[in-house]
Structure 1
Amino acid sequence: MKYVQEFRDPKAARGVLAAIAAVADEIGCTAAEPVRIMEICGGHTHAIFRYGLDKLVHEGIEFIHGPGCPVCVLPMARVDDCVAIAERPGVIFTTFGDAMRVPGTRKSLLQAKADGADIRMVYSPLDAVELARRNPGREVVFFGLGFETTTPSTALSIQQAAREGLGNFSVFCNHITVPPPIRALLEDPHMRLDGFVGPGHVSMVIGTHPYDFIAEEFGKPIVVAGFEPLDLLQSVLMVLRQIRDTRACVENQYGRVVPEHGNPVSLAAIADVYEERPTFEWRGLGEIDSSGLRIREAYAAYDAEEKFGIGYATGRRTAEEPEGCACGAVMTGRMKPTACPQFGRGCTPDTPLGALMVSSEGACAAYWTYGGARVAEPAE
């Protein structure tokens, strides 16, 4: 409880909020001309709304919600591929619970399960490896999904399956990396961002140097942050101080967890099992070069995409979004969830049109859960 108590201290929070207000006044930011700070990670978005930080900070600070929810940025075509694999005879399809209700163009994994597919929720890819051991006559597929945070555990599971010669285990790899979409946003001439709160969990694996380009090439400050209220407030203050001092660098507020150069064991496992994809499609951002990972040839026997001849192995990549769905705009910070015409109408937690409403890191889910839910006014 040490860090929970320290980083939720109301007295300390009031002190940081006062410091934020003072620097914001120095900069001259107002509600009409705010400093726009993007929190990259969906976990940060939920923490901001859970603790009401958006209402506590100076009115001249606007939080922009970034594409740091791996379930949310997955295009619908990849969900369709999951369903197609799961519906094959003899397949046990395993996935984290976050992905069960994400809609594809035909159905979600949860709907496919209701229709008879053998789809099981697991807490680790090692659970899927164990299922493969226990079911030698079945093909067990794990839905490999997530940023650099979850990539090492999938890599280690593939290595374990290879050591054991488990030919009935494979991974449908949808692992992606954080820096390329941030570059894509910064290169968008219509996107105005003044600074970033960097992802804590991803940075535990990759360290802080992969973000150097944000400061060095684009002149924007970034502060890697933890997930408690004071973590986020301190990070906002650090970003503001960089802006005030007309400097830009990568700072690490989450030093108690994030090492400068990342986790060498995790990075070694990733390098052994994966290589960059030439391109990968992101919901809302389109194709981004070198932003996804694929399984190396040495582990091709454990690549579900190749084993089942699906996804990028066939060249099929895109699927149309539901009419009126604004997931892409919300995910890239161009629109707040409540401005989406479907929010609270055609799209609710019970009837989601997109992953942002059902993912535990989705921006729409944060607005809905923590009191930000306000149905958009109908267009005239």
Structure 2
Amino acid sequence: MKYASEFRDPKAARALLAEIAATCDRIGATRDKPVHIMEICGGHTHAIFRYGLDRLTHPGIEFIHGPGCPVCVLPMARVDECVELAERPEVIFCTFGDAMRVPGHRKSLLQAKAAGADIRMVYSPLDALEIARRNPAREVVFFGLGFETTTPSTALSIQAAAREGLGNFSVFCNHITVPEPIKALLDDPDMVLDGFVGPGHVSMVIGTHPYDFIARDYGKPIVVAGFEPTDLLQSVLMVLRQIEAGRAEVENQYARVVPEHGNPVSLAAIADVYERRPSFEWRGLGEIDASGLRIRDAYRAFDAEAKFGIGYGAAQGRTVVPEAEGCACGAVMTGRMKPTACPQFGKGCTPDMPLGALMVSSEGACAAYWQYGGARGVAAR
């Protein structure tokens, strides 16, 4: 447990909580006039509720759950396109387990698998690459999903397929980027945000400078954070101290993992394989300019959109599919609503019968509230 237990030390946590409370008192943060801090990453949301930090911190702290769950932000139309690909008889469709139960307009991938589609859960795109090697007569499509954290592994797999000339392997690319949706939220006049806890795993790849605009252009502090309880408490304290001092900077609490300039090998692979899409649709946010990645023409043979004429590669254009009636995933995912405020939470939407992705994704806010009770969310169950 070395490098983990010391970040779960109760004595250190109590000291940080006391400092947070004292700082909140000094800046006048109260339950009625809280400091709104958005944790961008869904992994942070789950850690906050797993360790009860929402109940332990000063009532002047209001955690706002951000759009940092890559499964959750996918619009329903993309799930439908996955099912359409998976139901082709020549296709073996490979996906991370998180995406299996996300409902589409017609069905989820899990339901498509139960109906006979050849859908396989993998832990890495390299697993899908190996399936392609072993099944040369079948088309193997990997569901490329995630923020900058998982983007390099998909890029490296495409590069490997190109070197091998593996023509039966392709990627349905749904990789997205963190800074652009944060800018969209900051541009929303109805959003009240005082600071950010920045994503740790994403920042391990891209570094800290892509967040400079948050402090420079919007005057909001952001602290890149780790995932243990004292990581998060220290990061919240760092945000509060910036607010108290009238500063707005990008700070790195997670320096033991996150380098300032990111991972050069990963960034090189991303730059080689991908380019920015003109725009990409996000659940709850709509189309956001340059927020998604697509596969460059040099690797077009491994682009499932081009190969199968689907999604943004469809000649007739994409179909916009509305969310299920009563589903508030968009409002929850963008921090406009707490999960327990959704009238379907725990009633029409449960882990067994979900209406939206946030209830079944391992990083979804609704799943965190359901599993850990959330901020006074137990009563809603």
Q: What TM-score do the two structures reach when normalised by structure 2?
A: 0.98
In structure 1, the residue matched to 2:292 is 292
Could you tell me how far 1:2 is from its partner in structure 2?
1.7
Could you tell me how far 1:317 is from its partner in structure 2?
4.3
Report if the CA contact (8 A) 1:343-1:375 is conserved.
no
Report matched runs for 1:44-123 at 5 Å.
44-123=44-123
Structure 2 distance, partners of 1:371, 1:81, is 34
Structure 2 distance, partners of 1:186, 1:281, is 18
SS of residue matched to 2:59: coil
Q: Aligned-residue CA RMSD in angstroms?
A: 0.9
Structure 2 distance, partners of 1:37, 1:26, is 17
In structure 2, the residue matched to 1:355 is 357
Report if the CA contact (8 A) 1:47-1:227 is conserved.
yes
Could you tell me how far 1:89 is from its partner in structure 2?
1.1
Q: Give the letter for the 2:197 counterpart.
A: V
SS of residue matched to 2:294: strand
Relative distance call for 1:286 and 1:41 in structure 2 (3 A) is same
In structure 1, the residue matched to 2:176 is 176
SS of residue matched to 1:214: helix
In structure 2, the residue matched to 1:22 is 22
SS of residue matched to 2:251: strand
In structure 2, the residue matched to 1:365 is 367
Structure 2 distance, partners of 1:317, 1:348, is 27
Report if the CA contact (8 A) 1:344-1:375 is conserved.
no
Structure 2 distance, partners of 1:140, 1:306, is 14
Relative distance call for 1:119 and 1:201 in structure 2 (3 A) is same
Structure 2 distance, partners of 1:55, 1:375, is 15
Could you tell me how far 1:374 is from its partner in structure 2?
4.2
Match of 1:345 among 344, 347, 351: 347
Could you tell me how far 1:318 is from its partner in structure 2?
1.6
% identity of equivalent residues: 84
Q: What TM-score do the two structures reach when normalised by structure 1?
A: 0.98
Q: Give the letter for the 1:284 counterpart.
A: G
Residue segments in structure 2 that go unaligned for 5+ positions in a row: none
Q: What is the CA deviation profile of residues 75-97 of structure 1, one whole-angstrom value per residue up to 9, with x for unaligned ones?
A: 00000000000000111000000
Q: What is the CA deviation profile of residues 6-50 of structure 1, one whole-angstrom value per residue up to 9, with x for unaligned ones?
A: 100000100010010111101000000000000000000000000
Match of 2:326 among 313, 324, 327: 324
Q: What is the CA deviation profile of residues 177-228 of structure 1, one whole-angstrom value per residue up to 9, with x for unaligned ones?
A: 0000000000000000000000000000000000000000000000000000
Report if the CA contact (8 A) 1:345-1:375 is conserved.
no
Could you tell me how far 1:371 is from its partner in structure 2?
1.7
Residue segments in structure 1 that go unaligned for 5+ positions in a row: none
Could you tell me how far 1:65 is from its partner in structure 2?
0.1
Structure 2 distance, partners of 1:67, 1:359, is 13
Could you tell me how far 1:356 is from its partner in structure 2?
0.2
Report if the CA contact (8 A) 1:344-1:374 is conserved.
no
Report matched runs for 1:132-281 at 5 Å.
132-281=132-281
SS of residue matched to 2:79: helix
Report if the CA contact (8 A) 1:207-1:261 is conserved.
yes
Q: What is the CA deviation profile of residues 310-351 of structure 1, one whole-angstrom value per residue up to 9, with x for unaligned ones?
A: 001122142111111000000000000000010001100000
Q: Give the letter for the 1:370 counterpart.
A: Y
Which runs of at least 4 in structure 1 moved beyond 2 Å after TM superposition? 372-377
Structure 1 distance, partners of 2:269, 2:178, is 18
